[in-house]
Structure 1
Amino acid sequence: MTRTRSLVLAAAVASVALVAAACGGDDEATTAPPPAPPADTAAP
């Protein structure tokens, strides 16, 4: 019974990881921030 329970738990963890990978995971958190806008150098 313990082995079956372990296999079910492993399958559940694998399915959650697969869904997270399919949905993109935390890719947005690891990308670089957008570049800063250019400074306003126009004369008044």
Structure 2
Amino acid sequence: MPVPALQKPAPVFKGTAVVKGQFKDISLTDYKGKYVILFFYPLD
């Protein structure tokens, strides 16, 4: 996975997210042209 850098676009990635209580495959390109906040939570 590419390393993110300050003041640069986020690297393109794919992952699984919880959306409205359901698991959903997402990609950063799904949100192109929109403001996005990436929140990562490590599993306990």
TM-score, scaled relative to structure 1: 0.17
The structure that is helix-richer by fraction is 1
The structure that is strand-richer by fraction is 2
TM-score, scaled relative to structure 2: 0.17
